Structures are given as structure tokens and as C-alpha cells.
Structure 1
């Protein structure tokens, strides 16, 4: 089924991100982001790369192919590094083009094809799930850019879809008894494998 609410949130997220990026200077794009080792330009390049890859997955659904999000040997840090060196006007233009490709793909995808799959890094996902993944990518990295977008700005369709996934994975990332004690307000937050 076509994820209309998620697509609508993506349209808004695209517009807001592009509007905020329009005012950034070259110096602003070279400044550090909230991601360690990534400038704002790196983050924008990463979003461009992901949006391109997502568009290819949708093209695969139309062609009757189950495509992989990235070819073997793809290095996301290296790809972001290459993109970050480009002038800001090129980065912004390519981002707008990639968002346009995705929006066109979503609008034109036949209702019967939304259950077709693409192969993401975490495994096979339906086209509907890939739209949710794209929304997460745009919203989280918009915060990483440190240009005024905050988690409190995240659309509810993103929070409502993503939070349960993260909570389901939480017991695998901490001592279960310590996690339960924290949830029962009997102990401090436990150490997690990986960031909170």
C-alpha cells in the first residue's frame, strides 16, 4: 500500500531542507556538522548519495528487479568526502534533483508495486519501507547539519514509525536486568553497546 502520509512528510522535509540549505555559504558548508569528522558538506553529499540510491531501488521495482542500495565495495565515507569537496551550488542542485527523482518515482509507482523489494544494507525492504528509511535519512541528517532543525521538528509520522523500531532493538544493546531496572526507575540508564 502506498505510504501516503510518509510521502507527504518527505515532500515537506525536502522543501524545508532545501530552503535552509539555500542560505548557507561555502564557509558554512565547510564548517563541522554534529557528525564527528563530517562537515556540513559531507552530510549533504551523504544525503545526495542515499537519495540517488533510493531512486535506483524504485527504478528496480518498476523494472521487476530486486536491486541493491549500493554496489559491493561502496564506501559511504569516501563517497561523502568526494561530494563534500564540490561547490555548494552543485551540492544543492544535485540534492534538489535527487529529491525530484524520488518524488516522481513515488507519484508514478503503481499501487501493486509498493510491496516489491529492494535490498538495503540491513536486508530486503518493501518500497513502502524504503520511503520511511528515506524520511529518517533526511530528518536525522537535517539535525546533524546543525542549522536550526531539531528533533522536536521531526514529523509525527517519522517519530511514530521509528521509535518502536528503536525500542524493540534496545534489549539487545544493554544488560536486560539493568535496562528493566532503569525503566522501573530503580537504577540509572544502563551502558549501551553503541550510542544511545
Structure 2
């Protein structure tokens, strides 16, 4: 379960991912927003509504860490989905403003979180117990992968190395504990070991970007080499 410390370097990764996303959104109009995203059943508006509403949801976990009073990220999945749906059909300008404003508020919240709160234990919607340091990983992951999901000319290969490595480590950590994970070995193009699951099994090699795209369900495995056909992976998020 990946966590990163609340350092200027970590905050800079979030800032860079946010800036790249907002730069990409600047040219979208209402027709673009209503078009399908890469996520089945979601328009680009759904993706942006989710990103905008996810920031205050993560802040609720930070409030839990700061006060010690349990505060859920979302009441339940139905409430989360309804919140996303409510904003998905809005005009482009409103959605982009919501993404920008909520991102800025989240950034101030992590900057101002007291040092002791970073050691507190909270439970995100996904169920794991963690410190707020994991919230930083979640935010990086959501910013960069949903930027890809918008299908506006930004792909996994465009994710800067620091953010890509954070998300790749997070995905690998998930699969290390996932039920039904097949025996598998992952290597980089030079043959260096990246991860081994179970007894090792077939070897799949590729660049970090190509591996992340496949592991995170954003590609079918384009660019990867394997000693056997790519196996089916357990569901991720």
C-alpha cells in the first residue's frame, strides 16, 4: 500500500499533475464535455465531475486525521455515484472551474495539515487503513489516470516519471495482495526485475509506461513482450 511523505517534492508532483490537467481542459467546449470518455458509460463530464468532487471527499479524510472524529470519504457508493451524476451534465466552463477550485482548496488543505495529523489512521472508501500520506498517492493517481481517461490527447506515456512511478508502485502493491493474481514476473526492457507475483510464472517485460497502462486497465498490453499470452488480471479499482 503505497504512501508518500508530505514533502515539497510530493506536493510538486500533485501541482504538476494538476497544472497539466487544467492546461488540457482549457480548450474544451460543451460538446467536448458531453462526448464519451475512455471509461465505459462515462462522458468526459462524468470524469471531470468525479475529479472535482473527489477533492473534498479526500479532504473529509484529512479532517478525520486532524480531529480524530471519524469522517467517511463518502456515505456509500450510491451517494458517491449520485454526486458524480449531478455534475456530469454541466457546461464545460462550470466543470473546469469546479475542478480548478476544488484542486486549489485540496492543495491548501494538505499544506496546512498539522504534522501530527499525518501520522493518524484513516480509512478511505476503498477500505484500507492508512495514514494521510496515502491520500497524496490517491490524489496523484486520480489526477493522472483520469487525465488519460478524458481522451484529450494525453496518454500514460505522457505522465511524468515521478508521478508515473508513484502510481506504478501503487498498482504493483495492490496486485501483490489481490486475490486471484496469476503467477507473473514483470521486468523492464533491460531485464531488471520490477515485480514477482506468486511463483513467478510467465515473464512480461516493457517500459514503465506500457506496464502501467496494462496493469491499470488503460491499455490491452500494447508494447509489452511476454513469454506467454498476457494473463487476465483481477479487477483493479
Smaller-chain TM-score bracket: 0.7 to 0.9
Normalization by structure 1: what TM-score? 0.87
- Runs (5+) with no aligned partner, structure 1: none
- Runs (5+) with no aligned partner, structure 2: 186-196, 205-225
* Counterpart position of 1:28: 32
* Counterpart position of 2:91: 87
- 1:100 correspondence with 2:104: yes
Normalization by structure 2: what TM-score? 0.73
Shift of 1:147: 0.9
* Counterpart position of 1:189: 230
* Counterpart position of 2:19: 15
* Counterpart position of 1:173: 180
- 1:144 correspondence with 2:149: yes
* 1:123-142 equivalent positions in 2, closer than 5 A: 123-142=128-147
- Could you say if the C-alpha distance between residues 175 and 72 of structure 1 is closer, same or farther in structure 2, counting changes exceeding 3 Å? closer
Moved beyond 6 Å, runs of 4+: none
What do the CA deviations read for 1:121-170 (whole angstroms, capped 9, x no partner)?
A: 22222111101101101110000001121112223333323323423415
- 1:78 correspondence with 2:82: yes
Shift of 1:187: 2.2
* Counterpart position of 1:50: 54
Alignment root-mean-square deviation, CA: 2.4
Shift of 1:20: 1.4
Shift of 1:74: 3.5
- 1:158 correspondence with 2:163: yes
User: Which structure's relative contact order is higher, taking Cα pairs within 8 Å and 6+ residues apart?
Assistant: 1
- Give the count of matched residue pairs: 195
